[in-house]
Structure 1
Amino acid sequence: MDTNPKNPPIDRIDGRQKVTGAAKYFAEFDLPNMAYCVIVGSEIARGTMARIDTKKAAGAPGVLGVFTHENMPPIPGWDAPVGGQADGPPPKPKTEETYRILSSPKILFDGQPIAMVVADTFERATYAASLIKAIYTRQPSKTDLRKYLANGVMPGGAQGADYSRGKPDAYQSAPVQLEANYTIPIEVHNPMELHGILAHWTGEKQLMIYAKTQGVNATQQAMAQAFKIDPKNIQVHTEFMGGGFGMGLRTWPQETAVVAIARKIGRPVKLMVHRSQMFTLVGHRPYTVQTIQMGADTNGKLVGLAHAATAETASYEDFTEATVNMTKFMYACPNVSTRYRIVRLDRGVPIWMRGPGEATGAFALESAMDEMAHKLGLDPIEFRLRNYTETDPEHNRPYSSKHLKEAYQKGAEAIGWSNRKSQPGSSREGDWLIGYGMSTGTFNAFRWQANARALLKADGSLTVQSAVTDIGPGTGTALTMIAHNVLGVPIDRIKVEYGDTSLPNAPTQGGSAIVSAVGSAVFDVCTAIKKELIELAVQSAGPLAGQKPEALTLADGLLSVETDPSKKVAVAELMRSHNRMVIDKSGESKGGPNLQNYSMYSFSVHFVQVRVNPLTGVVRVSKAVSVADSGRIVSPKTAASQMIGGVTGGIGMALTEEAVIDHRFGRFVNNNLADYHVAVHADVPAIETIFIDKPDPYINPMGAKGMGEIALIGFAGAVANAVFNATGQRVRDLPITPDKLLRTA
């Protein structure tokens, strides 16, 4: 990890709590008279329940209620028109199906809840759930995307629109051409912490929720809409989370159902799904098939580029993501077209996951760039440099900042790129073939609206407040650093309170936007405190009387003249002398209209060295270097940790992760952590992280751009490219498992 000496790393503010067990996750909250809910899922993927027998379950010890489509408590907001579900994200295009949990005997996907059992203990609820029996009228199910690719439809909204600039199919006129298909399988979040909710009605229209959500304000709004109550009467709490991964970006139907059941039985109700239900009830990366058509001249300049993607969605809701977007602007190419289609299948709805659609699209684009470089006889970095652009060709405007050339250079030096042999399969150490690969990643740099509050007390302590959820990247630590850099309050005197709707509103954590958004709000309110302190100092008797405000600086609880540190006053003394026990500032922060003049993206470059055993087909990532061009790095230590986490997820995406469905029944066959393989310690080498660490001059006052998504976006392509360099075998269907290498050997 390289760091800026002017911004030294600090330990996570929540680190001690997490490693000692003091951190309290939603499921660890216990309320008086609490009940427990267990979901019973369907055993078919398409059809109708002819009958459901709940009599034995209802009579089991401790059971407080068994809820099915026959007695589900009403949810007022679910009377909304189909396509704008009260329990979900913003309205989606209408489909031919409707899904309301426990509202109908109709089955739309395997594992769909058919009953929810509530008892006075979790064990009793689990036992009673096992007693429920259902008889189904089964219908043929459609779960295999490859079989139904021709059924793809254009999604509604701007994201679904076809894109074109220049001449269509111009790649066909190029002297060097490539056409290839790339496949990403279903991948499932599988964080350590399981999904769930604890709901407690404290009054007729007063609701307290502990949940696994990436946005407490978003959950608050969803529940307010569902139950037609004032959002101010709903408090949502999520201080700690054991991995969000995208599953917490919406309020899922079972959460809303638990709230309704808690109101019905008059007791707090807790739901935590089991591991197999994580595969069916909280989304996944959608199975996606992509085609890249690329043409270049003999000098290595792109002539034409076409990118088509077809992805699965549910029959009852259209989910879309930005799979083809990177292709529109990443390289200087005069003729570009993209097309995105979705196929409605008998599956639970997908969701953004551990690097959204850009991660899927980057695998195809960056693999194709490597393939074309090989056809041209060019180094993969050189090919990218020949098609480098300093302006966004999609929107015809400059990037707010882009230092990708420097990232290529630094990463190549760190990985030892000069050791790469251009002839695939020509480098060997003992029994292992050695290969090097690289890939580029990019993601929008957002700045959303956010609120924050800061309270500086006369004892020198500072409290910063925001409702934002820290899903794991160290948001609280970053906000601490921002406050420290503005006010000079020692790190151990700063307390950050977050993860609760009683605090100032904040956006959902996702899209790598929280440091930019909430960090800006914290910067603004701390700057307002600093301004008031300076005004107090220069407008009253004392060592700083009459000084120009811009000449003063704050550090270690002292306000002083920057050019003459002997002229100083302690902040605590200054506040007491003016009878100010606390300076309290709140405010909203958002980007100005000038942001529309620039294209704002974060960039990454991933380099890997792999070792491949030609006899067994085993692939080992032996070295990884990831370079981030994401503006100013606010919190170097947590930023490095975030990059390492992205690489770890990228290794899983490239080599191990695949949720397998038996399409005869539409059911997962590896819905557990024994058979669904995530990357573990033995799969992950030492990872070197490098930051360009140059502030973006436009996006926000810190100059920081998002980094969470680019930590993974592109990495799988780097692994695939390295495997090709090691073996001469191109695997276009993830994950790259031994059987695929041996089959093509």
Structure 2
Amino acid sequence: MNEAFFDKKEYKPLDRVDGRLKVTGAAKYSAEYALPNMAYGVLVGSRIAKGTIKSIDSKAAERAPGVLAVISHLNVIKIPGYAARGVHPSEPPTGGQPLRVFYDNKVYSNDQPIAIVVATSLEKAQYGASLVKVQYDQQEHQTDFEANAKNAVIAAAAKKNPKSPTADYDRGQTDAFETAPFRIEAEYVLPTEMHNPMELQAITAHWEADDRLTIYDKVQGTKTTQKTFAKEWDVPEQNVKVIATFVGGAFGNGLHSWPHESAAIIAAKQVKRPVKVVLTREQMFTMVGYRPRTWQKIQMGAAKDGKLVAINHHSIGQTSTYEEFTETTLMQTRMMYASPNVSTRYRLLPLNVATPIWMRGPGEATGAFALESAMDEMAHAIGMDPIEFRLANYTETDPDKNMPWSTKYMRECYEEGKKRIGWENRKLKPGSVRDGEWLVGYGMGTGTFGANRGPATVKAELDLEGNLVMHCAITDIGPGTATAMVQVASNTTGIAPEKITFHLGSSEFPNAGLQGGSSTVNSVGPAVQAACNALKEQLITMAAAKSGPDFGAAKPDDIMFEKGEIQLSGKSSAKLKLSDLFKQNNIQKIEATQESKPSENGKKYSMNAFSMHFAMVHVHPFTGQVRVKKIVCCADAGTIVSPKTAESQMIGGATGGIGMALTEDAVMDHRFGRYVTKDFGDYHVPVHADVPDIDVYFVNKPDLLADPVGSKGLGEIAIIGVAPAIANAVFNATGKRVRHLPITPDKLLGL
């Protein structure tokens, strides 16, 4: 471990460096770019869930004022990449083919884009779209999960690779559950949930030449999007420019490229002018992914002393009929607790719906609801405190990978969370605590997610006035990436944050991966650190040539910046004015571009971030109303480099967990294969009145085996474990176990 880390100044809370731009409206989002000669596209969606298009009558639309084109499979230009598989970014672990918009006359799901009307204004495009008449040969569709569950299949990835996270998994004896002294068996259902960030999905596409494309897009990865559309149009990658400087919230739906993006690019090519497409809120429910409906069954066995004997965890997740989307729903079951016998089975159910996509805490948030609810049920069956039960099965090493953890400080989370939530007030017998006419309950749930790190490159420039400017292609979907990177740079160099600028969100900047999977700080942060150290090495060389041996023997960790000077630690006399040094070398600035890659430690250690969420709820026994009165979130996420925005991340995750537990449910009318909850009036997300005091605690101990910054990521663990904590608290308050989310009053009536 690099002990020099602890000599650096502690990370302090910092206001968002882009906060002023956002609150004044100066920040420009993808729908706000106005290009000369702009046209507007509006998508026409299918009104059936399965079948073929018999005819499209677009004559009235084409004659409407301002309409430039009506594009469908009948007249679309050739898209070179449609002939090949895997044209979408990141190429997720799926079988089948991502939806190719306007490719043929087949309809796979309701509201599938089947045409785009392009006009000189948005209103004219909307009117034109209303005039398009479509006739179908309708076929019987299947959208009912429960009615079709028997048709679930093994994922293609699991068939190809027996070590895939979706493959059947056995550790120990597969029948150990049958002979366990204490057993519970239960089924859990998580409904379809929609991302619904504040900013609608939007793209402006501009062909600057026949082989040169610029898009202003709401994405979570500029480089992956660049690769996608370069491949789709068979042009060099450098000829595709992707701009996503600001993203108004995203929970995973920006990790994939969607039909509306391809439609806008096609339209811009055909009408030979820039085209903007902004989805409606209703289209956000049908065109850009969602958390898939998932059924889970857990069989859990334990001994009287609380030691787990066996866990069998089966799961069925929903996907589309043309593409297999998979999740790591069962991974937490394999490695969170010290059970000698574990079996998992993952299956997919193809239905006439659009393809799901990762949603914050993908897989693990779903799996944790079942696992952590079952742990609470087993603790109750034995008569143990749920925390004591978990501690009895605490793992000092990863039982799945059979490797030591890089770091794990969950015991500290248990103790701090108990104290902050008031766990001593909890009673083993449900319904024992009241506050007036309200029943009071306490619950908790744990979570984990991989400390994922990928390669990233940062370019840094330092001028003679001490201003540091950095560039990286990474995007920011809201957690405050630029703020975190400014703090890493300030910590590494000693330069004041107000003199540091971090530019992001352009594919023309140095390479970075997706903002997703809790990987940004621990991927880009080390590259920032490396670029800053490379600048310091240049300064050392320059200073040694002018100022003698003090600087000649220095290392990057030895020098810091303060008030326009560089100085050596421990030698107050060894200092130089930065401006003087630059003038002596006849330069205005220096620059360094550095790449940081994952180390070999991933082959020796299991690297995960961990969370623990505690909830106190009030439940009204006559109305079934649930009020979350307090949440405590404890995170073991390594170094917290941006405490202020990190706390906001945790609060946001907990808020999403409240929605998962109590309100969110995408309801479909199976007669038509169409969602009836397609706006915020019917699809309920938590509002201010639903969100209580959220107390956030960080262990804040670095994991320098994971990466040089010591961070492990917390975007996912912020939500993983929240829903079961609330569900377990509701049980503790009422004695009623709700296993089918959300927990609505009707499920609690008759207490």
What range is the shorter-chain TM-score in? over 0.9
2:12 corresponds to: 8
Counterpart among 614, 619, 644 of residue 637 in structure 1: 644
1:170 corresponds to: 176
Which piece of structure 1 moves more, 547-556 or 497-506? 547-556
Amino acid at match of 1:135: Q
2:3 corresponds to: none
Deviation digits for residues 673-712 of structure 1, max 9, x if unmatched? 1110000000001211100000002111111111000000
1:239-254 mapped onto 2 (5 Å cutoff): 239-254=245-260
Counterpart among 40, 44, 65 of residue 40 in structure 1: 44
Once the two structures are TM-superposed, the CA of residue 140 in structure 1 deviates from its matched residue by: 1.3
Contact 1:484 1:490 in 2 (8 A): yes
Cα RMSD after superposing both structures: 1.5
Contact 1:9 1:635 in 2 (8 A): yes
Once the two structures are TM-superposed, the CA of residue 718 in structure 1 deviates from its matched residue by: 0.3
1:237 corresponds to: 243
What SS does the corresponding residue of 1:689 show, helix, strand or coil? strand
Report the identity percentage: 52
Once the two structures are TM-superposed, the CA of residue 534 in structure 1 deviates from its matched residue by: 2.2
What SS does the corresponding residue of 2:749 show, helix, strand or coil? helix
Contact 2:443 2:725 in 1 (8 A): yes
Instruction: Indicate how the Cα distance of structure 1 residues 287 and 549 shifts in structure 2: closer, same or farther if over 3 A, else same.
Output: closer
- Equivalent-residue separation in structure 2 for 1:537 and 1:402 (angstroms): 42
Instruction: Indicate how the Cα distance of structure 1 residues 537 and 47 shifts in structure 2: closer, same or farther if over 3 A, else same.
Output: same
Task: Answer yes or no: is 1:65 the counterpart of 2:69.
Answer: yes
Amino acid at match of 2:49: A
- Equivalent-residue separation in structure 2 for 1:268 and 1:533 (angstroms): 46
Contact 1:171 1:295 in 2 (8 A): yes
Task: Answer yes or no: is 1:627 the counterpart of 2:634.
Answer: yes
2:397 corresponds to: 391
Task: Answer yes or no: is 1:534 the counterpart of 2:540.
Answer: yes
1:486 corresponds to: 492
Once the two structures are TM-superposed, the CA of residue 594 in structure 1 deviates from its matched residue by: 2.7
1:603 corresponds to: 610
2:356 corresponds to: 350
Contact 1:92 1:317 in 2 (8 A): no
What SS does the corresponding residue of 1:478 show, helix, strand or coil? helix
Contact 1:453 1:584 in 2 (8 A): yes
Q: What is the aligned residue count? A: 737
What SS does the corresponding residue of 1:291 show, helix, strand or coil? strand
Contact 1:486 1:530 in 2 (8 A): no
Task: Answer yes or no: is 1:469 the counterpart of 2:475.
Answer: yes
Once the two structures are TM-superposed, the CA of residue 607 in structure 1 deviates from its matched residue by: 0.6
Task: Answer yes or no: is 1:731 the counterpart of 2:738.
Answer: yes
Once the two structures are TM-superposed, the CA of residue 592 in structure 1 deviates from its matched residue by: 1.8
- Equivalent-residue separation in structure 2 for 1:691 and 1:405 (angstroms): 13
Contact 1:100 1:253 in 2 (8 A): yes
- Equivalent-residue separation in structure 2 for 1:549 and 1:686 (angstroms): 46
1:317 corresponds to: 323
Amino acid at match of 2:336: M
1:112-261 mapped onto 2 (5 Å cutoff): 112-157=112-157, 158-261=164-267
Contact 1:218 1:508 in 2 (8 A): yes
Contact 2:40 2:125 in 1 (8 A): yes
Instruction: Indicate how the Cα distance of structure 1 residues 534 and 93 shifts in structure 2: closer, same or farther if over 3 A, else same.
Output: closer
- Equivalent-residue separation in structure 2 for 1:60 and 1:593 (angstroms): 62
- Equivalent-residue separation in structure 1 for 2:39 and 2:86 (angstroms): 27
Once the two structures are TM-superposed, the CA of residue 546 in structure 1 deviates from its matched residue by: 5.4
Deviation digits for residues 216-255 of structure 1, max 9, x if unmatched? 1111000000000001011100010111111100111221
Deviation digits for residues 119-158 of structure 1, max 9, x if unmatched? 0000000011011111222211100111111111110221
Once the two structures are TM-superposed, the CA of residue 657 in structure 1 deviates from its matched residue by: 0.3
Once the two structures are TM-superposed, the CA of residue 434 in structure 1 deviates from its matched residue by: 0.7
Once the two structures are TM-superposed, the CA of residue 94 in structure 1 deviates from its matched residue by: 4.2
- Equivalent-residue separation in structure 2 for 1:369 and 1:154 (angstroms): 27
Contact 1:464 1:497 in 2 (8 A): yes
Deviation digits for residues 478-511 of structure 1, max 9, x if unmatched? 1100111111111111011100011101101100
Amino acid at match of 1:22: A
What SS does the corresponding residue of 2:601 show, helix, strand or coil? helix
Deviation digits for residues 363-406 of structure 1, max 9, x if unmatched? 00000001101111111110000000110000110010000000
Once the two structures are TM-superposed, the CA of residue 74 in structure 1 deviates from its matched residue by: 1.4
Deviation digits for residues 268-326 of structure 1, max 9, x if unmatched? 00000101111110000000000011000000000001110001100000000000110
- Equivalent-residue separation in structure 1 for 2:113 and 2:277 (angstroms): 13
Instruction: Indicate how the Cα distance of structure 1 residues 71 and 248 shifts in structure 2: closer, same or farther if over 3 A, else same.
Output: same
Counterpart among 21, 25, 29 of residue 21 in structure 1: 25
- Equivalent-residue separation in structure 1 for 2:111 and 2:555 (angstroms): 64
Question: Any unmatched runs of 5+ in structure 2?
Answer: 1-7, 158-163
1:433 corresponds to: 439
Contact 2:537 2:556 in 1 (8 A): no
Contact 1:215 1:507 in 2 (8 A): yes
Question: Any unmatched runs of 5+ in structure 1?
Answer: none
Task: Answer yes or no: is 1:567 the counterpart of 2:574.
Answer: yes
What SS does the corresponding residue of 1:337 show, helix, strand or coil? strand
Amino acid at match of 2:356: P
What SS does the corresponding residue of 1:540 show, helix, strand or coil? helix
Counterpart among 655, 674, 677 of residue 670 in structure 1: 677
Amino acid at match of 2:147: K
- Equivalent-residue separation in structure 2 for 1:578 and 1:101 (angstroms): 57
What SS does the corresponding residue of 1:198 show, helix, strand or coil? strand
Which piece of structure 1 moves more, 39-48 or 542-551? 542-551
- Equivalent-residue separation in structure 1 for 2:89 and 2:153 (angstroms): 22
Contact 2:360 2:719 in 1 (8 A): yes
Once the two structures are TM-superposed, the CA of residue 98 in structure 1 deviates from its matched residue by: 7.8
Once the two structures are TM-superposed, the CA of residue 555 in structure 1 deviates from its matched residue by: 3.4
Counterpart among 650, 658, 679 of residue 651 in structure 1: 658
Contact 1:88 1:252 in 2 (8 A): no
Contact 2:601 2:706 in 1 (8 A): no
Counterpart among 698, 710, 715 of residue 691 in structure 1: 698
- Equivalent-residue separation in structure 2 for 1:675 and 1:565 (angstroms): 65
Once the two structures are TM-superposed, the CA of residue 593 in structure 1 deviates from its matched residue by: 1.7
Contact 1:64 1:265 in 2 (8 A): yes
Task: Answer yes or no: is 1:589 the counterpart of 2:593.
Answer: no
2:57 corresponds to: 53
- Equivalent-residue separation in structure 1 for 2:447 and 2:98 (angstroms): 37
- Equivalent-residue separation in structure 1 for 2:322 and 2:349 (angstroms): 11
Contact 1:441 1:714 in 2 (8 A): yes
Amino acid at match of 2:463: K
- Equivalent-residue separation in structure 2 for 1:612 and 1:575 (angstroms): 67
Once the two structures are TM-superposed, the CA of residue 88 in structure 1 deviates from its matched residue by: 5.0
What SS does the corresponding residue of 1:182 show, helix, strand or coil? strand
Counterpart among 439, 456, 466 of residue 460 in structure 1: 466
- Equivalent-residue separation in structure 2 for 1:392 and 1:178 (angstroms): 24
- Equivalent-residue separation in structure 1 for 2:86 and 2:63 (angstroms): 34
Contact 1:544 1:560 in 2 (8 A): no
What SS does the corresponding residue of 2:612 show, helix, strand or coil? strand
Contact 1:208 1:236 in 2 (8 A): yes
- Equivalent-residue separation in structure 1 for 2:747 and 2:201 (angstroms): 34
Once the two structures are TM-superposed, the CA of residue 204 in structure 1 deviates from its matched residue by: 1.5
Which piece of structure 1 moves more, 133-142 or 667-676? 133-142
Contact 2:205 2:265 in 1 (8 A): yes
1:85 corresponds to: 86
Task: Answer yes or no: is 1:450 the counterpart of 2:456.
Answer: yes
- Equivalent-residue separation in structure 2 for 1:658 and 1:493 (angstroms): 46
Task: Answer yes or no: is 1:515 the counterpart of 2:521.
Answer: yes
Contact 1:436 1:723 in 2 (8 A): yes
